[in-house]
A and B are shown apart, each in its own frame.
Chain A
Amino acid sequence: MIRFSAVAKRYPGGLEALRGVSLEVGDGEMVAITGHSGAGKSTLLRLAAGIERATAGTVVVQGQNLGALGESALAVLRRRIGFVFQDHKLLHDRSAFENVALPLRIAGFARDEAARRVRAALDKVGLLAREKAMPVALSGGEQQRLCIARAIVNRPMMLVADEPTGNLDAEYARAIISLFVSFHQVGTTVLLATHDETSLARLDCRRVALAAGLLAAPQPA
């Protein structure tokens, strides 16, 4: 599903976020990326989701070498990956329904089919009753769930989440984590980054620790 080979990422300005990471994530696997802020977790996720390109090494996702793909092909690949952004990236001038419908609009779904899928996704995250609400009217936890609904609406094979429990209290965080577990249970590959050890404590999955752009020694699950 995902294969990183000696991947490095240097940002303009000289910051080296990743310094040679090799990692493999199998189909349907759930992997938690841990580490302090600035360890390179977000960069690793963005490279895996085709949002950024590696400066060295190769990233292969679903059999495709992302470095060899053109901009448009990379964009099309991103449609098959659901990404839950740390800062949500919701459109504040659109309702919850329209936010979730955005990926389907891009993919060119018919209105009826799109509406059906949007409602199914909103239902899945428990926001069906709030479909007309604007994002500002939603709580932090609800905004996070809205972002998850948008990530799963196109039924992606892979779900990538960057700090999905950040800034949420423990109860909300647990609910979010169990949502990801339920997606993993139906066969979706899940990659999530977090520095929140408490919400991971009860999570039974493989962990990969990053420190200063390098993989730390493997930790027991």
Chain B
Amino acid sequence: MIRALRRHGHALADALRRMGAQPVASLLSILVLGVAIALPVAAAVMLKSVAATTASFDTEPHVNVYLTLDAADADAKRVGDALRATPDVAAVRFIPRAEALAELKSTTHLAELLGSLDKNPLPDAFTVRMRTTDGARIGAVRAAWGALPKVDQVVADFEWSERLARWARFGERVVIGIGILLGGAVAFIVAHLIRLQVLTQRQEIEVSQLIGATAGDVRRPFLYHGALQGLLAGAAAWGFAAAFAFWLAAELAALTPNYAAELKVVFLTPAERIGLVGGAALLGLLGAWSAVSRELRRFSTDR
């Protein structure tokens, strides 16, 4: 038991010694791996941030009904009653044109421009909250309302949110795809680096096997080497992604005051950080395993 632990200690020391023997080469390969891992991580951070921002938007289906400019209060009341009588309608809010103008003046910098107009350009409007998200049913309601007298336009506001959700799913797939490709690249790069190491240690491996090293004994330091490279690369990727997020956050903070929704960068949770570094170490381990196993098979047929 103690001897087995000690063999692991020796293997770890061996791996560190091999990395220390070529510090520049080790550092460069860790940076290359780190950049490869950082790319999908940075993309994931961006996607998370976008998702967090859109979650703060009201994505319940809304239908806005705009009346013509010449509609009288009686027309508005009649349309409102018709809207309330429709099935699937959860709530109806009437926004008189004067109120809409006042709100526009207070929330934008257009007050001066709006003040220069001699009459209110905005129509009376209704905001209708729907109970259903079914596109076909909302489409039917929309057509029926569009045919009501004094109704100018019916805008189903849910379409953009559906489109947004679809874009988010698309972005997620892009990130997953890039992540798989670059994760594979990490394993292959580590496998290649370890294979070169194995070839330079060829003589040592042969002698060790002759005097009693098992395949596991030979493999162990290389596995530590690969896992260590992956681990450090994962930590480097974390650093790169954090720097990127910090850089983005500064720019976003400057953008925020102009919009109602809060824009902010959402970085990785602690569990995701552990997953990132652990996953990178695992990829390194896998790469090393495949490289050493291949070379070991070659050695054993030599005998």
Q: Please report A residues at the B interface, Cβ cutoff 8 Å.
A: 51-52, 71-72, 75-79, 83, 85, 89-92, 102-103, 105-110, 150
Contact = CB atoms under 8 A, between A and B. Distances in A.
A79 B210 CA distance: 9
B212 interface: yes
Nearest to B6: A108
A106 B216 contact: no
A150 B10 contact: no
B99 interface: no
Contact of B207 (A91, A107, A110): A91
A79 B215 contact: no
Contact of A106 (B4, B212, B303): B212
A105 B3 CA distance: 10
B186 to A, nearest CB: 30
A79 B303 contact: no
Contacts of A92: 203
Name the interface size band of chain B: 20 to 34
Contact of B208 (A77, A83, A106, A110): A106
Contact of B303 (A51, A105, A109): A51
Contacts of A78: 210-212
A79 B212 CA distance: 5
Nearest to B207: A89
Contacts of B203: 91-92
Closest 10 CB pairs of A and B: A79-B212, A108-B3, A78-B212, A108-B7, A75-B214, A72-B214, A108-B6, A106-B213, A89-B207, A103-B211
Given A79-B212, A83-B211, A107 B204 contact: no
B3 A75 contact: no
Contacts of A77: 212
Contacts of A150: 211
A75 B217 CA distance: 10
Contacts of A72: 214-216
Nearest to A73: B214
Residue among B7, B211, B213 with most chain A CB within 10 A: B211
